[in-house]
Structure 1
Amino acid sequence: MSQVAVPYVALGLRARRIKHELLAAIERVVDGGMYILGPEVQEFERRFAAYCGTRYAVGVADGTSALILVLRSLGIGPGDEVITAPNSFIASASSAALLGATPRFVDVRREDMNLNSDLLEAAITPRTKAIVPVHLTGHPADMEPILKVAERHRLPVIEDAAQSVGTLYHGRRTGGMGYAGCFSLHPLKNLHALGDAGVITTGDERLYQWLLKARSHGLRNRDEVEFWSTNSRLDTLQAAVLCVMLDHLDEWIKARREIAAQFSAALRDVVGVPAEAPGSLHTYQTYMIQAERRPALLEHLKQRGVDAKVHYPVPIPMQEAARGLGHRRGEFPATDWLAERIVSLPIYAEMTREQRTTVIDGVRSFYRA
């Protein structure tokens, strides 16, 4: 086996490059002594809302909690259905299932791997209570037709923006088009904490005020609990880190887009490369190719020191956890097709020219052999 020349991620390298900024921010929190909902939380929320073009942002513990809290705000529970995509991380569906609701899946388009809006209306039933489109890999879902269908049926749209910080759809940031946007700030995301974190964006004041209480046990104040809830606060330390990371986000996105453009130009004649729809700005949280003979390609890349991954080889409806939903392979043909072909190549702002060339040569040499 070859030594890994191109790791899938390089989080330590990124952190070392801004280490002095991170340590200074952490030191301010340590010295300030407000470790729960300190001023850094409010500062990050203010700045993130401004970045996304929304009135409000509420920091929470993680992206999954963000989805669960927003669904809870709508009173979603047993007997209800929530529409989402079948080719996402499990939280897109488990957030509904954990509330007793039923995830209802709508197949995706092969081109951008996002929910196929042409199939959406047929999936709506009297039990449908929300639509949760996923902005997969940093490419926006086609929100205009989704929002039109939702408006006709008076359904809220909750954007699963876990993978799309900074993504644009016709000039608007993801997270700013629906009832709420739910972001993960996990270390693998373009904007990330040094651990788990999440944030919810919204323009709805009632939701905003409810979330402030819901993320903290339903507390109205220190002594009065308005409703049963959980503990899902964003740590002050992580908020301080996120403020630093936010300063660098646009430069990191720019670098990822440059690398993605280089990959696509070099690889489009041998594999399927990511689409970027007109009016969209893809942020490439993941660079996914559509590749034939995937197992052999992965082994070939491994031998050349390229640490490629496979995302979502088992669609959510086919997971053991979803067995009770009664789905069968073949119900979601585009999702099944993608699940057999997707390969995620390393991509991060800190990649050297040599590493980029190694990735490109690794893929091309396999198909040119």
Structure 2
Amino acid sequence: MQVPFLSLKDITEKYKDELHEAVLRVTDSGWYLQGNENKKFEDDYARYIGTKYSVGVANGLQALELMIRACKILYKWNDGDEIIVQANTYIATILAISQNNLKPVLLDPNTDTLELDSEKIEKAITSKTRAVMLVHLYGRCLYNEKIDDICKTHGLKLFEDNAQAHGCMYNGKKTGSFGTVAAHSFYPGKNLGAFGDAGAITTDDEEIANLVRVLGNYGSSKKYVFDYIGENSRLDEIQAAVLDVKLKHLDEDNNRRKQIAKMYYEGIKNPIIKWPSVKSDESNVFHIFPVFCEKRDELQKYLKDNEIGTLIHYPIPPHKQKCYKEWNEVSLPVTERIHERELSLPMSPCLTDEQVQWVIKTINSFIY
């Protein structure tokens, strides 16, 4: 039995008629940028997340980069100021900090929860610390009150990288609404995915929202008038229309992901397989179902031989990448161990129970 890691074609097929109608509506309108579709999605997404404002941008990296840049301008941060961030993240989180000439301060997460350790955060704070970046990795809510209290006590901004956790909650409140501002990616493979690159920021701060919009429009708030050296980072009308269709089905799709995760949790009995601590039902939307295995590469090959697709998130941590060669000798043992052992199992709202059971049966038959 074939089990793809993720079939975008199957996801699109679920809502094909609605999506075709949305795309046709845009093509017939003759308006392809900064129009009604964009405004409607921004309003709907802000309402869904629970913030006053949502601003669409071209992709998730630029959502991160623009939200940080807006805060740097508004709060008069200097080059070299610091943002504390967990080391076990996708490199985009780190790139956005570096691109703003700020310094990422990398911290190892807790081994079991993958959350930032509040004690480590406090020890890392210096006179140059300006913010803490919280990454809701794998679809898990990594917010907690201790981190929030630390930020408030020390006058730091709390940023959220919500690229992998659309619809995730904590005590009835959605990720993307806890901090000063949050970045969202709508890359096609995300829980809420576009037909190409797309992103957004969410915030309750009107100044941040307005400045992100200006910076992403060449630095212009009025046609041919440029207050900032900006860039072209706008969510196009087709992507906005597609996302608005999928947003209506997001909770339903996330619930299916939770059902699949429950089957994995209950069915996988092979003692070589470990996973992060299990969170409450509302606090994980399972963008990825990661397992950790000492024989990760052998397990991946075994699953491939049985026609089961997997991915590694991520094989090389940011501080070991060539582009950050100045960090290559830094030791972050928890992060490095995570990246050496992580394997992502198939996770999609389109998987059948039979496919999930085949994954479980195959893993349980893996001899190490």
TM-score range normalised by the length of the shorter chain: over 0.9
Tell me, in whole angstroms, the C-alpha distance in 1 between the residues paired with 2:11 and 2:57: 24
Structure 1 residues 215-234: aligned runs within 5 Å: 215-234=216-235
Compare 261-270 and 358-367 and name the one that shifted more: 261-270
The residue aligned with 2:129 is 128
The residue aligned with 1:308 is 310
Tell me, in whole angstroms, the C-alpha distance in 1 between the residues paired with 2:173 and 2:333: 31
The residue aligned with 1:334 is 334
Structure 2 counterpart of 1:217, one-letter code: Y
Structure 1 residues 284-299: aligned runs within 5 Å: 284-299=286-301
CA deviations over 1:152-206 (Å, ceiling 9, x no partner): 1101011011101001112110010100010000011000100000010000111
Give secondary structure in 1 for the equivalent of 2:121: helix
Contact preservation (8 Å) 1:134, 1:141: yes
The residue aligned with 1:23 is 20
2:197 corresponds to 1:196: yes
Structure 1 residues 268-279: aligned runs within 5 Å: 270=271, 271-278=273-280
Contact preservation (8 Å) 2:112, 2:277: yes
Compare 116-125 and 58-67 and name the one that shifted more: 116-125
Contact preservation (8 Å) 1:186, 1:195: yes
Contact preservation (8 Å) 2:269, 2:364: no
Contact preservation (8 Å) 2:313, 2:344: yes
Tell me, in whole angstroms, the C-alpha distance in 1 between the residues paired with 2:152 and 2:329: 28
Structure 1 residues 85-96: aligned runs within 5 Å: 85-96=86-97
Tell me, in whole angstroms, the C-alpha distance in 1 between the residues paired with 2:319 and 2:132: 17
Structure 1 counterpart of 2:298, one-letter code: A
Q: 1:220 offset after TM fit, Å?
A: 1.8
Tell me, in whole angstroms, the C-alpha distance in 2 between the residues paired with 1:327 and 1:131: 24
Structure 2 counterpart of 1:81, one-letter code: E
Q: 1:98 offset after TM fit, Å?
A: 1.2
Tell me, in whole angstroms, the C-alpha distance in 1 between the residues paired with 2:144 and 2:93: 17
Give secondary structure in 2 for the equivalent of 1:157: strand
CA deviations over 1:218-251 (Å, ceiling 9, x no partner): 1121121121111100011100000111111111
The residue aligned with 2:69 is 72
Structure 2 counterpart of 1:12, one-letter code: K
Contact preservation (8 Å) 2:19, 2:242: yes
Tell me, in whole angstroms, the C-alpha distance in 1 between the residues paired with 2:118 and 2:346: 30
The residue aligned with 1:186 is 187
Tell me, in whole angstroms, the C-alpha distance in 2 between the residues paired with 1:77 and 1:243: 38
Please provide the CA RMSD for this pair: 1.5
Give secondary structure in 2 for the equivalent of 1:40: helix
Contact preservation (8 Å) 2:321, 2:328: no
List gaps (5 residues or longer) in structure 1: none
List gaps (5 residues or longer) in structure 2: none
Tell me, in whole angstroms, the C-alpha distance in 1 between the residues paired with 2:105 and 2:84: 5
Q: 1:335 offset after TM fit, Å?
A: 1.2
Q: 1:131 offset after TM fit, Å?
A: 1.1
2:35 corresponds to 1:38: yes
Q: 1:253 offset after TM fit, Å?
A: 0.2
Describe the shift of the 1:155–1:176 C-alpha distance in structure 2 as closer, same or farther (beyond 3 A).
same
Tell me, in whole angstroms, the C-alpha distance in 2 between the residues paired with 1:210 and 1:252: 33
Structure 2 counterpart of 1:42, one-letter code: K
Give secondary structure in 2 for the equivalent of 1:366: coil
Contact preservation (8 Å) 2:320, 2:327: no
2:6 corresponds to 1:6: no
Q: 1:114 offset after TM fit, Å?
A: 2.8
- After TM superposition, the score normalised by the length of structure 2 is 0.95
Tell me, in whole angstroms, the C-alpha distance in 1 between the residues paired with 2:162 and 2:269: 27
Kindly report structure 1 stretches of 4+ aligned residues shifted beyond 6 Å.
Answer: none
2:115 corresponds to 1:114: yes
Give secondary structure in 1 for the equivalent of 2:253: helix
Contact preservation (8 Å) 2:65, 2:97: yes
Matched pairs, number? 363
